């Protein structure tokens, strides 16, 4: 069980909203055989305001979300902290996001981490500004049937949000 303080309640609410969207998407896959032929693409972009190559990747992610139509494409942007040493601190950066990227590097056996890095469904990683690769990976992910469900409950207890 994770407990969030009042300070991170907004983030938890946002994540809870995303969870509800994902739950609805996954549940609809089992309820409607026509929809079951289509997959889901959760796109994670590791970026930073201190990275000169990142604006094109940020735009790529934004355009991907804008053009998703009714397809199940969910975009997440994680501002990493390792660019903060250059004198400009990215106000959206979090060490937890950098740690998340390090865990992916270990999973993919990458010797280093970089920005802009895009990861789709936790399975494939590539340079986030590469629009051609992004479209290929998204289309492949959406063409794969998903049979997964997520069960979770959200509960507000005073100034905390608990995810059970």
Q: What sign has the CA pseudo-torsion 37, 22, 98, 88?
A: positive
Least confident stretch, 43-47, 112-116, 118-122, 147-151: 147-151
Q: Output the six-digit token pair for 78.
A: 């994680």
* Amino acid 1: pLDDT: 43
| Structure confidence by residue, pLDDT tens digits, 53-72 | 999 999 999 999 999 888 89
* Amino acid 2: pLDDT: 46
Confidence of residue 87 (pLDDT cuts 50, 70, 90): confident
High-pLDDT (> 70) share of the chain, %: 75
Q: Is the peptide bond before 28 cis (omega within 30 degrees of 0)?
A: no
Q: Quick check: pTM over 0.85?
A: no
Least confident stretch, 13-17, 37-41, 81-85, 128-132: 13-17
Write down the mean pLDDT value for the chain.
83
Which residues are registered as beta bridge partners of 127?
Answer: 117
Confidence of residue 23 (pLDDT cuts 50, 70, 90): low
* Amino acid 149: pLDDT: 67
DSSP sequence for 26-74? HHHHHH-TTGGG---EEEEEEE-TT-TTHHHHHHHHHHHHHT-TTS-EE
């Amino acid at each position: 069980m994770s407990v969030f303080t009042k300070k991170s309640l907004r983030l938890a609410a946002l994540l809870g909203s995303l969870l509800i969207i994902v739950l609805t998407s996954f549940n609809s896959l089992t309820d409607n055989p026509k929809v079951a032929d289509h997959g889901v693409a959760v796109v994670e972009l590791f970026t930073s305001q201190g990275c000169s190559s990142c604006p094109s990747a940020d735009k790529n992610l934004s355009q991907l979300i804008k053009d998703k139509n009714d397809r199940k494409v969910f975009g997440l942007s994680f501002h990493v902290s390792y660019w903060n040493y250059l004198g400009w601190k990215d106000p959206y950066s979090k060490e937890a996001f950098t740690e998340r990227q390090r865990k992916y590097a270990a999973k993919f056996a990458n010797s280093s981490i970089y920005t802009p890095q895009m990861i789709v469904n936790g399975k494939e990683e590539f340079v986030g500004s590469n629009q051609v690769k992004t479209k290929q990976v998204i289309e492949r992910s959406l063409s794969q049937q998903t049979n997964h469900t997520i069960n979770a409950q959200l509960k507000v207890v005073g100034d905390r949000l608990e995810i059970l």
